[in-house]
Structure 1
Amino acid sequence: MQRTPLAEFAAKRHAWTANRLGMSQGALSKAIREGRTIFVSVTDSGEISAVEEKPFPGQRRSASYPTCTNDRSAGAIGSGPEVPVHPSSPSAPVQ
């Protein structure tokens, strides 16, 4: 059994590869575009399977993901723009 990178295996035949792996062509293209480390294996009988290698413990692949720079908890004073809050119904007087 030989392992081939997904992008190399699917070159010029995205629809066929996606169909054989049981996924959509869009999902296949996105995985390739994002540079995910996925390898395709072909058995002697012609069946294909794909395996993704990921770092352990889970780490982000690149620095392109946005990071949160707000170190205040949600709802902290000054955590966002002032937005007026109006009750959805008038409150009944408490007796």
Structure 2
Amino acid sequence: MQRIPLAEYAARRHALTASRLGMSQGALSKAIREGRSIFVLESDGGCISAVEEKPFPGQRRENAASSCPNSSPPGIKESAPEVPVQVSSTAQASR
């Protein structure tokens, strides 16, 4: 069984590769364009499947630091937006 990067395997044959993997050509092109870490596994019999490697536990490739708590710049205090709260009519009647 061979493991080949998707972009290399699909070079100049996106439509054929996409149909063999059971996906659209647009989805295949988008995965390659975004630089996703996808590898095609080709068996000795000619069957193919694809596997994607992702960082564990589910971190984004672009900026893993953005998902860390307390990652805002010093001096910046995050707060929830102020939303006006209306007292319900049942709570007003019990006053």
TM-score, scaled relative to structure 1: 0.69
Aligned residues with identical type, % of pairs: 68
Equivalents in 2 of 1:6, 1:59: separation in Å? 21
Equivalents in 2 of 1:71, 1:40: separation in Å? 43
Show the 5 A alignment for 1:50-61.
Answer: 50-61=50-61
RMSD: 2.1
Which residue identity lines up with residue 48 of structure 1 in the other structure? I
Aligned length: 73
Q: Give 4+ residue runs of structure 1 displaced > 6 Å after superposition.
A: none
Aligned residue for 1:23, secondary structure, equals coil
Cα deviation, residue 76, structure 1: 1.4
Cα deviation, residue 45, structure 1: 1.2
Q: Which has the higher helix share?
A: 2
Q: Report Cα offsets for 1:16-41 as digits up to 9, x if no partner.
A: 00000000000000000110000001
Unaligned runs of 5+ in 2: 84-95
Aligned residue for 2:36, secondary structure, equals coil
Q: Which residue of 2 is the match for residue 91 of structure 1?
A: none
Q: Which residue of 2 is the match for residue 81 of structure 1?
A: none
User: Of residues 48, 59, 78 in structure 2, which corresponds to 1:71?
Assistant: 78
Unaligned runs of 5+ in 1: 78-95
Matched, 1:35 2:58: no
